[in-house]
């Protein structure tokens, strides 16, 4: 979890209260079943608003496939004189493989609805340097004026009409030169660009444009530029420090001084050196007020307390040992204290903390963070501008904060709490819903995964022994659901549990392999592991054997929940079946499109479903033959859960494109007809980044794991109709027929003529 901006959300919430977003988008089907969706705390970068009870309200749950890149937020800005106006710079990656350009989104109703201004280049909400900033800002004297500092060498942009239209500021030529890792095709290979924009509110009167504006760049020669004529001309501020990148800049109008934190790199995971400087506008002098003194970190998030002149706080930039730290000064940086001190005497514990730790909202945190109670990857920090006792900062695991901050100044301990309820930022990578025990098991990036005993509260414990940062897959044995397997990104990357995920041990033959996708046979004695571009099988934890007759590649695997010997695998467009518990496979087809997911009926042997680039396919003979089902033209996921009371078919859930609309659907009649269950308020991002599980115990319940919004589970509205099914020999179709169009399991609707179809 990496939170790139807090101050904007805090200021919106304090002034405006709760804010929600819901865009009106017409679906492609005539009937959308109302689903009761809930977000289940599970620990992307979408925007939230802070509520008065310390919870966070999402503003972008409307995001679906067509608006996918809006889940990436590169910057947040608020109008300091009109709390209803919120702005975000939306876009995820600047790489060539991201097809979407960036956009500035504007709201004048606290984020309930949004307008969009499209840009001719990309933004990078998940690129390196995303903690720097803010690179989007509203003029405090004239709210119609906004500035945006772009990445990729695209410079500075300005709007004079509340973000509706934008133009490049051609007189500003310093676009930044820093690239974390030149040549990298991932997050580190692009120009970071501009890092922050801030104004001197005292440089003009309300209603006119602020004359003094500061812009930071990711450049080691000149990093801070200033305009004193409302943006007409710009120049690097003379005498400024060089050698490091500007990270965050904040202006104190009472001191007439600019505070700037510096670090030696924009790498998301670490900095090695840095300092904090203060620029006095009237005397035109720079003063170093904080230095890491060669201890191996730089400085990042910085905040001023507007109610307490000279009060400033700054976080270390990714200090990993012994913990991240926060510095606080009450005299403009002349003297500092830290949130913890190191005792070298050996008499006391080495880290002496000024706070007590409260993780009641995320009781699993100590298992993930270990001895790092302050945090790491601390990229943003904010003091509440309306409450000097309230502050928040983001870490690599959660959002921490306190409502008793000024206890620090009295040398009295304050409580540092996890305050991230509703701030689910980690990518969910795997879900499974067993027929007994906990209703859900999950695995996620960065913080491992959980056993979810109660869907209405956050899980109590993370998966331990082994504890991996990123866990890739999880599966339960169909006939013995207490047996669970998971795979993860560290040595010994395969673990087994015999008590539904409460305790674990490393698979005896896991060795040094990591990651991949692991599946259990129905009885739990066989493990098939797709890892190292091959398939391997182990029985009773004996050494893994490579499956000989399946080509190397990237695999999606699945198991039959009822038959211990049946396994399925997909490699590109090829479908394979194993009848000997994964020891060998036979290819049965390569003509159903690129296979993205295999779903199995947990109640029937050999009932297999496939989501592919050509739609949804179904087999009732263990994958020997397939037929295309329903109107989907493209599908990402298909999973099967408990049937309705009056229908023999299981509930089938799919993320698919039907009638041109990409969404989430359910079928109760074997895939003949589909009901759209996603809606304007619940889009779940792009289906390709979702993971699915259907509940085998509760009809109509599906779990959707997202890339940045945690886990949702949805239940069918009790008032919604369930299609009836005709019994054997009953009519199921024909011209003008208005009765049941499906047959109870296991019968099939057979066409006799254009006027009559019958269940046979």
pLDDT digits over 260-274, tens only? 999 999 988 878 899
SS3 68: helix
* Band (688; pLDDT cuts 50, 70, 90): confident
Residue 230: predicted pLDDT: 98
Check whether 99 has a pLDDT greater than 80: yes
pLDDT over 90, % of the chain: 66
Stretch 246-269: mean pLDDT, rounded? 95
Residue 46: predicted pLDDT: 59
Choose the weakest-confidence range: 3-17, 26-40, 122-136, 336-350: 3-17
Residue ranges of E strands in 590-633:
595-600, 608-612, 615-619, 627-629
Residue 48: predicted pLDDT: 67
pLDDT digits over 561-615, tens only? 999 999 999 999 999 999 999 999 999 999 999 999 999 999 999 999 999 999 9
Residue 306: predicted pLDDT: 95
In contact, 152 and 123? CB cutoff 8 Å: no
Q: Under 8 Å CB-to-CB from 30, ≥6 apart: which residues?
A: none
Buried (b) or exposed (e) across 680-718, using 16+ Cβ within 10 A?
bebbbbbbebbbbbbbbebbbbbbbbbbbbbbbbbebee
CATH top class, domain 429-723: mainly beta
Residue 365: predicted pLDDT: 83
Ramachandran area for residue 545 (φ above 0: left; ψ -120 to 50: alpha; else beta): beta
Q: What is the CA radius of gyration of the chain?
A: 28
* Band (724; pLDDT cuts 50, 70, 90): low
Q: Under 8 Å CB-to-CB from 667, ≥6 apart: which residues?
A: 630, 649, 651, 652, 654, 673, 674, 675
For residues 209 and 211, what is the distance between their CA atoms, to the nearest angstrom? 6
Greater confidence, 32 or 330? 330
pLDDT digits over 156-206, tens only? 999 999 999 999 999 999 999 999 999 999 899 999 999 999 999 999 999
For residues 378 and 300, what is the distance between their CA atoms, to the nearest angstrom? 7
Give the Å distances, CA to CA, from 66 to 362, 373, 682, 684: 33, 40, 13, 11
Residue 719: predicted pLDDT: 46
φ/ψ (deg, to 5) at 535: -110, 135
Question: Can you count the helices (H) and strands (E) in the chain?
Answer: 2, 59
In contact, 689 and 67? CB cutoff 8 Å: no
Six-digit token pair at 673? 């007809």
φ/ψ (deg, to 5) at 413: -65, 140
> What is the separation, in whole angstroms, between the first and last Cα of the chain?
54
Residue 725: predicted pLDDT: 61
Element (H, E) at 391: strand 391-394
Instruction: Give residue limits of the domains in the chain.
Output: 429-723, 724-760
Residue 239: predicted pLDDT: 97
pLDDT digits over 122-140, tens only? 999 999 999 898 999 999 9
Give the Å distances, CA to CA, from 513 to 29, 465, 508, 544: 46, 16, 12, 11
Residues in the chain: 760
Average pLDDT, the chain: 88
pLDDT over 70, % of the chain: 90
Choose the weakest-confidence range: 30-39, 327-336, 373-382, 389-398: 30-39
φ/ψ (deg, to 5) at 21: -125, 135
Residue 215: predicted pLDDT: 98
Kindly tell me the sign of the dihedral angle through the C-alpha atoms of 463, 372, 52, 60: negative
Query: Which pTM was predicted?
Result: 0.85
Residue 368: predicted pLDDT: 76
Residue 25: predicted pLDDT: 19
738 class by beta-carbon count within 10 Å (0-12 exposed, 13-18 middle, 19+ buried): exposed
């Amino acid at each position: 979890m990496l939170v790139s901006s807090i101050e904007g959300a805090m200021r919106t919430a304090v002034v405006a209260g709760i804010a929600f977003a819901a865009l009106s988008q017409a679906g492609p089907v005539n009937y959308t079943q109302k689903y009761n969706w809930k977000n289940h705390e599970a620990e992307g970068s979408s925007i939230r608003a802070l509520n008065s009870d310390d919870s966070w309200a999402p503003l972008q749950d409307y995001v679906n496939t067509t608006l996918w890149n809006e889940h990436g937020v590169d910057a947040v800005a608020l109008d300091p004189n009109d709390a209803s106006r919120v702005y975000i710079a939306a876009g995820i990656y600047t790489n060539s493989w991201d097809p979407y350009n960036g956009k500035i989104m504007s709201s004048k109703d606290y984020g309930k609805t949004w307008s969009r201004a499209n840009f001719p280049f990309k933004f990078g909400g998940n690129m390196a340097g995303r903690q720097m900033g803010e690179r989007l800002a509203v003029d405090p004297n004239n709210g119609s004026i906004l500035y945006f500092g772009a990445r990729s060498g695209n410079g500075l942009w300005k709007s004079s009409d509340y973000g509706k239209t934008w133009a490049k500021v051609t007189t500003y030529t310093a676009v930044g030169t820093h690239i974390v890792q030149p040549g990298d095709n991932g997050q580190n290979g692009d120009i970071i660009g501009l890092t922050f924009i801030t104004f001197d509110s005292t440089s003009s009167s309300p209603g006119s444009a602020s004359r003094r504006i500061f812009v930071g760049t990711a450049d080691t020669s000149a990093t801070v530029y200033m305009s004193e004529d409302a943006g007409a001309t710009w120049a690097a501020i003379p005498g400024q420090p060089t050698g490091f990148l500007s990270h965050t800049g904040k202006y104190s109008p009472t001191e007439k001084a600019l505070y700037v934190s510096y670090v030696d790199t924009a790498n998301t995971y670490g900095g090695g050196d840095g300092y904090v400087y203060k620029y006095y506008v009237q005397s035109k002098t720079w003063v170093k007020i904080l230095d890491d003194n060669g201890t191996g970190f730089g400085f990042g998030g910085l905040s001023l307390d507007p109610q307490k002149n000279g009060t400033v706080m700054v976080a270390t930039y990714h200090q990993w040992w012994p913990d991240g730290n926060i510095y606080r000064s009450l005299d403009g940086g002349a003297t500092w204290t830290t949130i913890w001190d190191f005792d070298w005497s050996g008499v006391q514990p080495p880290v002496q903390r000024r706070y007590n730790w409260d993780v009641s909202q995320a009781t699993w945190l100590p298992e993930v963070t270990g001895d790092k109670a302050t945090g790491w990857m601390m990229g943003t920090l904010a003091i509440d501008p309306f409450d000097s006792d309230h502050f928040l900062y983001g870490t690599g695991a959660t959002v921490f904060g306190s409502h008793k901050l000024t206890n620090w100044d009295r040398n009295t301990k304050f409580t540092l709490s996890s305050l991230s309820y509703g701030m689910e930022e980690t990518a969910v990578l795997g879900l499974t819903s067993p027929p007994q025990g906990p209703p859900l098991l999950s695995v996620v990036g960065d913080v491992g995964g959980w056993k979810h005993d109660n869907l209405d509260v956050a899980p109590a414990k993370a998966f331990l022994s082994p504890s991996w940062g990123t866990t890739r897959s999880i599966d339960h044995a169909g006939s013995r659901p207490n047996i669970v397997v998971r795979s993860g990104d560290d040595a010994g990357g395969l673990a087994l549990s015999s008590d539904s995920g409460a305790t674990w041990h490393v698979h005896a033959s896991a060795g040094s392999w990591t990651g991949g996708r692991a599946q259990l046979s129905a009885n739990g004695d066989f493990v098939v592991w797709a890892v190292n571009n091959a398939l391997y099988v182990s029985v009773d934890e004996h050494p893994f054997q490579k499956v000989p007759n399946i080509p190397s590649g990237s695999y999606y695997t699945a198991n039959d929940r009822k038959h211990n010997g049946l396994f399925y695998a997909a490699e590109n467009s090829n479908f394979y079946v194993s009848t000997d518990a994964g020891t060998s496979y036979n290819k049965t087809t390569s003509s159903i499109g690129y296979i993205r997911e295999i779903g199995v009926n947990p109640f029937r042997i050999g009932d297999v479903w496939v989501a592919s680039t050509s739609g949804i396919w179904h087999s009732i003979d263990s994958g020997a033959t397939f037929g295309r089902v329903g109107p989907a033209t493209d599908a990402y996921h298909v999973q099967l859960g408990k049937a309705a009371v009056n229908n023999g078919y299981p509930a089938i859930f799919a993320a698919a494109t039907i009638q041109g609309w990409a969404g989430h659907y359910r079928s109760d009649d074997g895939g003949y007809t589909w009901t759209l269950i996603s809606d304007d308020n619940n889009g779940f991002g792009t289906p390709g980044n979702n993971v699915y599980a259907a509940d085998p115990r509760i009809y109509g319940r599906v779990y959707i794991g997202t890339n940045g919004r945690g886990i949702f589970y949805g239940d069918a509205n009790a008032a919604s109709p369930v299609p009836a099914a005709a019994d054997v020999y009953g009519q199921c179709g024909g011209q003008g027929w208005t009765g049941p169009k499906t047959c109870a399991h296991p019968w099939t609707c057979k066409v006799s003529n254009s006027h009559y179809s019958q269940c046979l």
